[in-house]
Amino acid sequence: MAKRESFFQIRLQENIEELKSLYLGLYHDEHAFAFFLAMLGEAYRARKASLRQRDLSRKEHPDYRMSQRMLGMMLYAENFAGDLAGVQKKLPYIKECGVNYLHLMPLLDSPEGKSDGGYAVSDFRRVRPDLGTMDDLEKLISACHRRDIMVCLDFVMNHTSDEHAWAKDARQGDPVAQARYFFYDNWDIPDQFQKDLPEVFPVTAPGNYTYLEDCGKIVMTSFFPFQWDLNYANPMVLNDMTDNLLYLANRGVDVIRLDAVPYIWKTCGTNCRNLPEVHTVVRIMKLACEIVCPSVMLLGEVVMEPKEVVPYFGSPERPECDMLYNVTAMCTIWHTLATRDVRLLRHQIEQIENLPAAYLFQNYLRCHDDIGWGLDYGFLGGFGMSEAPHKKYLNDWFTGKWFGSPSRGELYNDIEMLQDARLCGTTASLCGIEAAEFEQNEEALRTALAADLMLHALMLTLKGVPVLYSGDEIGMLNNYSYHEDPKRFSDSRNIHRGQFDWVLSEQRHTPGTTASALFEGLSDLICIRKKNDVFRSDAPMYAVDVENERILGIGRTYGDRTLLGLFNVSPEHSRAVIETAAWEELTDPDRVFVAGEQTRMEYWLEPYGFRWLIRKNVQHEEA
């Protein structure tokens, strides 16, 4: 017991000076800080011995998260296998996919019919009854750990459900509970906020406040009327929410996704986005984890333009989030497919080229959410692409309205006046597999499959942790049945949130099927990636000019090896001009290019073709 307490005291003393400075600088409340420290001690003492051992192991090997062996998958438990027990039974399949990082989409208790896909939490310490219990979650996590699979869980920071115990007490007039939220007797202050406060969902949930008829009060609701914004200017909110976060960590969760983190601090006269106090709160939570559960990583969901995203890493000396969503990469990759022009993607790779090696992104082609076209229109403007018409082009292309487009998607939050609709759909349907199979066009299907695999190869090449969206590995198509479901028809994101197709998955090893082409092709790529440390997340990445705007060149260097990734984003044969060297094709190890007299050589790629070329660095050969 004494030895166990000593670890806590050592970590506390290492961080107490900064923690106290940040906390009291934010709240000026010694009593609240004392409560915070006591809460940390209780959380540490409640942590199981197996998890404390995991903390020590991770601290001894801090670069595990940079390994090229990291591969994630995100899924909804109810769609994938019915409930948490069902997911546990399907772990062999997840392991077969090569996955060692499992992101379970929102599963905490939330009211049916007004949950926003699980992001309106009514109890942070209770699993949705239809999915199981907290004991079931712990059993699943333990089973994952035995298979060397990390588990990620969403933590909704900005708000609670209006059916949370705090919200219920607030409705009843409890002033302490009301102080956890933003309650007002009249519209004077809300109207002041509204002058600078953008709307998150101007179509489906306009406004930022909701009038509560039952208690005659006005409450801030930035997202939906049933999601009440928490007031982090109240230290009681930070204390209790940090306690909830640590409770989940003590269930064995390895990665905690901080949902909508840029929104959590509100100051009148600002847009209430990315304020300095947000970074203070996140740093405090990071320090809490460092003291109580240092193996637990924080994943920040920052759906903002790139210049607003990177600050959430903090600094190498004072980190905030351990990992960040690379939402910009997702939308830029799809822009690249529709335009057949790699210049914007190459520009963004150049922008992140000089970030510290410790900065870790989570990369993905598709996720549970829509694709918002938050592109760098300042850069695109130099090529004649202005924001509104370009967004319309992208949406027309990916919904199949543009002549010749094979994509089949649907729009989200579509209102003509705003010209800011977003896109929904599965990877396979957006790549053209759905249309090709419907038309029974074998040539189009081959092209669509090539595009799908090329995009996955690109995602696996980017710096960071690649994450698959469950079903993409077997080519699941859009699920239009949600249109007939009264509980789901109003949210077009349900088009890619369908039930996992286990019948289709049975075809993954049957030659000649779509499922096999994708599953086997992707498995080969994952295997190659895991065997080559040049794909490590801390291996430098840089853009390579191959003298063709239809081919993206990505360089990665680690140790004595250099990787060159080539990706043809067009449905035509395209030529890249690359450095002449003894290149070996990782996807065809028997093929080697012998260095010739010319310093540059031509390299041709088939439609939507890609290659991973690797060579030994010259300086190492000379040494």
- Catalytic residue IDs: 259, 301
SS3 105: coil
How many residues are present in the chain? 623
Amino acid of residue 451:
A
Question: What would the DSSP string read from start to end of 169-226?
Answer: HHHTT-HHHHTTS-EESSSHHHHHHHTT---SBTTTB-SSEEEETTTTEEEE-SS-TT
| Rounded alpha-carbon distances, angstroms, from residue 335 to 10, 225, 358, 545, 571 | 49, 33, 28, 19, 15
Q: Do the bridges between strand 541-544 and strand 465-469 make them parallel or antiparallel, or are there none, so unpaired?
A: unpaired
The CA distance from 518 to 533, in Å, is 24
Is 349:554 a contact under the CB 8 Å cutoff?
Answer: yes
The CA distance from 107 to 329, in Å, is 27
Q: Which two tokens stand for residue 235?
A: 């230290």
Exposure of 520 in the CB half-sphere (CA atoms within 13 A): 12
Is 149:252 a contact under the CB 8 Å cutoff?
Answer: no
Alpha carbon dihedral 41, 244, 125, 145, in 10-degree steps, equals: -70
The CA distance from 165 to 450, in Å, is 51
Q: For residue 36, give the nearest of 216, 248, 291, 259 by alpha carbon.
A: 291
Q: For residue 579, give the nearest of 607, 543, 544 by alpha carbon.
A: 544
The CA distance from 219 to 189, in Å, is 11
Name the E strands within 418-464.
422-424
